[in-house]
A and B are shown apart, each in its own frame.
Chain A
Amino acid sequence: MSTQSERPSDLVAAPSRFPWREVVLFAVLLMAVLGVYALMGTAYSTRMLVEAACYAILALGLTIQWGYAGQFNAGVMGFVALGGYCAMAFSVPVNQAFWASDLAGELGMVLLFLAVGVLVVVGVSRLHRLGVPRRLSTTLAVVLALLLYLLVSARLDEVAGRIESQFGFIGGLGLPAWAGWIVGGALAGVVGYFIGKVCLGLRSDYLAIATLGIAEIIKAVLKNADWLTRGTATVSPLPWPVPPPGEVGFTLARALYLSVTAVMIAAIFFLLTRAYNAPWGRMIRAIRDNEVSSAAMGKDINRRRLEIFVLGCILMGIGGATLASFNSLFDPQGYLPLNHTFLVLVMVILGGPGNNLGTIFGAVAVYIIWVMSEPLALAVLELVVGLGEGAFGWDAPSNLDSRALQARVFVIGLLISLVLRYAPKGLLPEKVRHHG
């Protein structure tokens, strides 16, 4: 920031210095990546890097919510799943048989009913502007909403059942993958808008509870609405925005995908850093650090909070979409709170909430540890069992593999607790500029 370098006397703390900490940490990270390449081969390691890059987008989304604004989103999984669903719905080939049949028209009718119903309910709820008592209009709207909901859902159930029995599911739109990514981000943003609208004016705990709930609901819908998503049957393959492995080989295809995600991260990083240093970012931080005084300065707190929450959700949707496209598989059951909420949370709080560089570092580092911990946990458990059998003639339970993976749940939880206790600002803390 040019104005500040001209007036160094303004700076009380954090004068510019050589960023030793960043350089050392990223050097260690580079070594780790190279180590993985040496151990596991290029194709596998590149896949890991691409996934880490997708997670970095998610983590950037969470770091602006938690780090910039102090909002805790406990339902990253839901937004990721929404993004993944959009990536699937837009890029999978069109189901010609379904669109040619009558059912497409009937589904359209149901959706039309739904739209009309929503309009009617919204209209009734606004009746108090015409002089109807507010209590009456609200009651009417609720009753009407319940009735219309029953009617529409009964029709939808029927049509959905016929779609499932005749065609499996409605198929995609056959558009390029990036279209789904954009819409995925937008959809996640819309859901985030409504959640934020309800919760952001209240205590921050409520947001955590509500996001946790919406994530489970989104997952339940995607899992059970077979006509939309094929549910547990999963959809694959999803097309890639770059040449698929079948044409150019695994390593090159994944490297191309990696470069796409890297460009996205660079763009997001650049924009976020600009926003952070802009007056808008300063305002967001002011609200985070002292709500009362920023309200006294005339800032519209709830509006700013909503903006940043929606922005974070959009990033999560985009990240989820890139992740689903890359895995080339949409599996609603594969979305787990552990993998898609808490892992991202660890990335952010370990890397440094509010510090974009730290977040990216955290994302890649934690993801490498995460991927490598699976064989490690199995090996440790086998060792323990071997010792136990040798020493006590102990009978090992049969489902050891799945149990060993539970150890990772414990480790993630422990990591969260330890970081909060001993390094609450993360490895690369946010650099707060102090003005004298």
Chain B
Amino acid sequence: MNELVFFINNVIITGSVSGSIYAIGAVGVTLVFSIMRFAHFAHADMMTFGAFMVLLLTLAFPGAGGAVGLPTAVVMLPLAILLTAALAVGIDRAFYKPLRAHGVKPIVMVIASLGVTLMLQGLIRLFAGTGGQRLYIDDRKEIFRLALPFEGARAPIVVTEPQIILFILTIVCVVSLHLFLSRSRLGKAMRAMSDNPDLARASGINTNLIVAVTWMIAGGLAAIAGTLLSLDVTFKPDLSFFLLLPIFAAAIVGGVGHPYGAIAGGFVVGFAETLAVFNWGVLLRPFRDSLPEWLAQAGSLSFVGTEYKIVVPFVLLVAILVWRPTGLFKGKVIT
């Protein structure tokens, strides 16, 4: 029983946490991809930027959370979302729009977004230093221990406060995104533009507005994902290159340009990562006596060590590109 609890703590919860973060990040990437038709490499740094804004605001108003009963960082999140959305639109105006006007190839936009990545990284590190910082400044991280109503289950299931906030926020994001895309006029226009930009323009859709809205949504989602990640662990300015791969893998696994696919892909990548680093020997422990000796003796039965975690999204990415390049949900843009 304890082994099962261990499994739930280490796989189900950890996997859902990283899955949610990747899902929110991948939705932004995939939206940008479907409207602007390029892989936006600066997304991970927009996440960092959002988290950094939260950090600054939390430092500026440390008492704000106590009044509402939530961590200050969460209270400051809407403001950070606005700031990051503004940043995303500003970046687009300053760096991507001129290139789009020149009609460059998508891959040049990719390079431009790498340039933006480096600029953001440089600025964030210049102001935030290179070390990690906690987003919980005044308030304490609450930890909930749920004891299981079973015989012999001594270890409780452990969930922390930010993780619960993260689950709630993920559900809110997904539902509101779904409503936006399927019900609102703007959302429908966005889908039309992702299906066929020329036709959308010809039928009178204001493409500039759509582009701006896409960046706002992508920026806002990036801020949420970055903040949630930093709440769960710590704020680190140099995460971006490690985040990029899982997020892109999630977007591609789900099918590029497919928001629901990106959510599914995020969870696939998140769970694949945690399952791969999980030590399967733990689950075999109750059956130790009935196992062959070589299996019972094996120390750690995990697929990859935590230091090689980044291999997992890469393997997923390669596998999906080899077998099903359109992704699980039949994304659009391939060649």
Q: Mark A396-418, 1 if CB is under 8 A from B, else 0.
A: 01010011001111111111110
- Residues on A with C-beta less than 8 A from B241 are 212, 216, 337
CB-CB under 8 A for A409 and B121, given A210-B317, A213-B245: yes
Within A180-216, the residues touching B (CB, 8 Å) are: 198-199, 202-206, 208-210, 212-214, 216
* 25 examples of A-B residue contacts, CB within 8 angstroms: A70-B105, A146-B303, A153-B303, A199-B321, A202-B335, A203-B335, A204-B105, A208-B107, A212-B245, A213-B249, A213-B310, A213-B313, A216-B245, A220-B311, A223-B307, A349-B111, A397-B129, A406-B122, A406-B126, A406-B130, A407-B122, A409-B125, A412-B122, A417-B112, A424-B104
Task: Decide if A208 touches B119 in the complex (CB within 8 Å).
Answer: no
- Residues on B with C-beta less than 8 A from A217 are 308, 310-311, 314
Considering only CB atoms, which chain A residue lies closest to B131 in the complex? A399
CB-CB under 8 A for A416 and B106, given A202-B325, A203-B334, A214-B314: no
- Residues on B with C-beta less than 8 A from A208 are 39, 41, 107, 110
Considering only CB atoms, which chain B residue lies closest to A209 in the complex? B248
Q: How far is the CA of A202 from the CA of B106 in the complex (A)?
A: 13
Task: Decide if B318 touches A407 in the complex (CB within 8 Å).
Answer: no
**Is A72 an interface residue when CB atoms closer than 8 A count as contact?**
yes
Task: Decide if B116 touches A417 in the complex (CB within 8 Å).
Answer: yes
Q: Mark B85-126, 1 if CB is under 8 A from A, else 0.
A: 000000000010011001011111011101111111111011
Task: Decide if B333 touches A412 in the complex (CB within 8 Å).
Answer: no
Task: Decide if B114 touches A342 in the complex (CB within 8 Å).
Answer: yes
Considering only CB atoms, which chain A residue lies closest to B115 in the complex? A416
**Is B190 an interface residue when CB atoms closer than 8 A count as contact?**
no
Task: Decide if A206 touches B321 in the complex (CB within 8 Å).
Answer: yes
CB-CB under 8 A for A403 and B126, given A199-B321, A203-B333: yes
Considering only CB atoms, which chain A residue lies closest to B122 in the complex? A410
Binding site for A on B (CB under 8 A): 38-39, 41, 95, 98-99, 102, 104-108, 110-112, 114-123, 125-126, 129-130, 241-242, 244-245, 248-249, 252, 298-301, 303, 305, 307-308, 310-311, 313-314, 317-318, 321-323, 325, 333-335
Q: How far is the CA of A287 from the CA of B273 in the complex (A)?
A: 38
Chain B interface mostly: helix
Task: Decide if B125 touches A406 in the complex (CB within 8 Å).
Answer: yes
Give 6 closest A-B pairs by Cβ, nearest first: A410-B122, A413-B118, A416-B115, A409-B122, A413-B119, A406-B125
Q: How far is the CA of A415 from the CA of B106 in the complex (A)?
A: 19
Name the residue among A202, A213, A220, A338 with the largest chain B CB count within 10 angstroms: A213
- Residues on A with C-beta less than 8 A from B125 are 403, 406, 409
Q: How far is the CA of A193 from the CA of B126 in the complex (A)?
A: 38
- Residues on B with C-beta less than 8 A from A203 are 106, 333-335
CB-CB under 8 A for A413 and B105, given A210-B317, A337-B241, A407-B122: no
Q: How far is the CA of A208 from the CA of B301 in the complex (A)?
A: 33
- Residues on B with C-beta less than 8 A from A338 are 118
Q: Mark A216-241, 1 if CB is under 8 A from B, else 0.
A: 11001101100000000000000000
- Residues on A with C-beta less than 8 A from B333 are 203
- Residues on B with C-beta less than 8 A from A149 are 303
Chain A interface mostly: helix
Q: Closest Cβ of chain A: how far from B165's Cβ, in Å?
A: 30
Task: Decide if B298 touches A154 in the complex (CB within 8 Å).
Answer: yes
Task: Decide if B314 touches A213 in the complex (CB within 8 Å).
Answer: yes
Q: Closest Cβ of chain A: how far from B44's Cβ, in Å?
A: 11
Task: Decide if A224 touches B307 in the complex (CB within 8 Å).
Answer: yes
Q: How far is the CA of A204 from the CA of B39 in the complex (A)?
A: 10
Within A367-413, the residues touching B (CB, 8 Å) are: 397, 399, 402-403, 406-413
Q: How far is the CA of A338 from the CA of B308 in the complex (A)?
A: 21
Task: Decide if A421 touches B95 in the complex (CB within 8 Å).
Answer: yes
Q: How far is the CA of A15 from the CA of B322 in the complex (A)?
A: 46
Task: Decide if B307 touches A220 in the complex (CB within 8 Å).
Answer: yes
Q: Closest Cβ of chain B: how far from A144's Cβ, in Å?
A: 15
Considering only CB atoms, which chain B residue lies closest to A410 in the complex? B122
B130 touches which one: A342, A402, A420 (CB < 8 A)? A402
Q: How far is the CA of A352 from the CA of B301 in the complex (A)?
A: 51
Task: Decide if B252 touches A206 in the complex (CB within 8 Å).
Answer: yes
Considering only CB atoms, which chain A residue lies closest to B112 in the complex? A420
Considering only CB atoms, which chain A residue lies closest to B126 in the complex? A406
- Residues on B with C-beta less than 8 A from A345 are 111, 114
Q: How far is the CA of A72 from the CA of B114 in the complex (A)?
A: 11
Q: How far is the CA of A417 from the CA of B299 in the complex (A)?
A: 50
Task: Decide if B121 touches A413 in the complex (CB within 8 Å).
Answer: yes
- Residues on B with C-beta less than 8 A from A366 are none
Q: How far is the CA of A337 from the CA of B242 in the complex (A)?
A: 12
Within A60-115, the residues touching B (CB, 8 Å) are: 70, 72, 74
Task: Decide if A416 touches B111 in the complex (CB within 8 Å).
Answer: yes
Q: How far is the CA of A377 from the CA of B308 in the complex (A)?
A: 35
- Residues on A with C-beta less than 8 A from B311 are 217, 220
**Is A150 an interface residue when CB atoms closer than 8 A count as contact?**
yes
CB-CB under 8 A for A209 and B245, given A397-B129, A413-B117: yes
Q: Closest Cβ of chain B: how far from A157's Cβ, in Å?
A: 8
- Residues on A with C-beta less than 8 A from B119 are 409-410, 413-414, 417
Task: Decide if B130 touches A416 in the complex (CB within 8 Å).
Answer: no
Task: Decide if B118 touches A416 in the complex (CB within 8 Å).
Answer: yes
Task: Decide if A213 touches B317 in the complex (CB within 8 Å).
Answer: yes
Task: Decide if B118 touches A399 in the complex (CB within 8 Å).
Answer: no
Q: How far is the CA of A412 from the CA of B122 in the complex (A)?
A: 9
Task: Decide if A416 touches B114 in the complex (CB within 8 Å).
Answer: yes
A410 touches which one: B98, B112, B126, B299 (CB < 8 A)? B126
B242 touches which one: A216, A399, A402, A406 (CB < 8 A)? A216
Q: How far is the CA of A203 from the CA of B106 in the complex (A)?
A: 9
Q: How far is the CA of A407 from the CA of B248 in the complex (A)?
A: 27
Known pairs A220-B311, A397-B129 / 19 extra A-B pairs, C-beta < 8 Å: A70-B107, A72-B110, A72-B111, A150-B303, A153-B303, A202-B335, A206-B39, A212-B41, A212-B241, A213-B313, A217-B308, A220-B307, A338-B118, A399-B129, A403-B126, A407-B122, A413-B118, A416-B114, A421-B99
- Residues on B with C-beta less than 8 A from A412 are 118, 122
- Residues on A with C-beta less than 8 A from B323 are 138
Q: Closest Cβ of chain A: how far from B226's Cβ, in Å?
A: 18
- Residues on A with C-beta less than 8 A from B314 are 210, 213-214, 217
Q: How far is the CA of A274 from the CA of B106 in the complex (A)?
A: 30
- Residues on B with C-beta less than 8 A from A421 are 95, 98-99
Q: How far is the CA of A1 from the CA of B301 in the complex (A)?
A: 63
- Residues on A with C-beta less than 8 A from B245 are 209, 212-213, 216
